[in-house]
Amino acid sequence: MSEKLEDILAIKENELLSLCAIMQEIRVKFIISTSDFAAKWYEETAKQYIKKYSEISLNLSTDSFGDLKKKVKMLVAESKEISEKVLGQSGIWWHEKPELHSAVSQYDQLGNQQVGNKYPEVVDRPVRIVLGELGGILEEFGFRVRTSVTFGPHNEEYWFEKTEEKTTSPYFPHMLEWSKQMQETLNEYNQLYKQAMLLLQSIQMIKDEIKKRKIIDLWDSTS
């Protein structure tokens, strides 16, 4: 009987490996989607801020204004590298280290167009860190954005978050609407995640049963 269970276990473990391989492809797809979104977002948001703080924009010299535009363009060009670095960190993607006790809902997207979308914290946080890179440029040119814990005017926007290591990292803090492609891609990942979680639970149950049967067999075979 244990041999049959071990055969079933091997089949299910292969199924899980196949699911994780597909989830890895979706992870790559999401990072590309985020890179495309960030590149467009950097430029659009920079334009919003030069209009929002027009008095600051008009006080910039021609050279400074040119430098601002160059730095935004450089950031746009680096969006792929930034997205890969931030979204490639450990702890974001379940399939890289499957765990039984992860929350089933950790990749769920909530909300709607009326109340606004709420994206899963495990992915939304790194996306906001990617976008927060623009904050350093806006801060440098005086656009009332702060990207670190320093003293300054109370009307500044706080574009940073404190990490568990008590350091700070850039972070976009305001309302955010992901691109449709990002939402759809994460939804694909979420559907496979739920399947993989059920499969992992099944695998663990089979492993537990095999252990129990081996113990009983040992008991029965001992004189």
Could you please report the per-residue DSSP string of the chain? -HHHHHHHHHHHHHHHHHHHHHHHHHHHHHHHHHHHHHHHHHHHHHHHHHHHTHHHHHHS-HHHHHHHHHHHHHHHHTHHHHHHHHHTSTTS-GGGS--TTS-TTTT--EEETTTEEE--HHHHHHHHHHHHHHHHHHHHTTSSEE-SS----TT-EE-EEE-TTS-EEE---S-----HHHHHHHHHHHHHHHHHHHHHHHHHHHHHHHHHHHHHHHHHH--
pLDDT digits (tens, 9 = 90+) for 142-177: 999 988 866 556 668 999 988 776 778 899 999 999
Band of residue 115 on the pLDDT scale cut at 50, 70, 90: low
pLDDT, residue 169, reads 87
Q: Is the pLDDT of residue 112 over 80?
A: no
Average pLDDT value for residue range 202-208: 94
Nearest to 30, CA basis, from 109, 101, 105, 104: 109
- Between 168 and 102, residue with greater pLDDT: 102
Residue indicated by tokens 């670190």: 148
Average pLDDT of span 79-101? 96
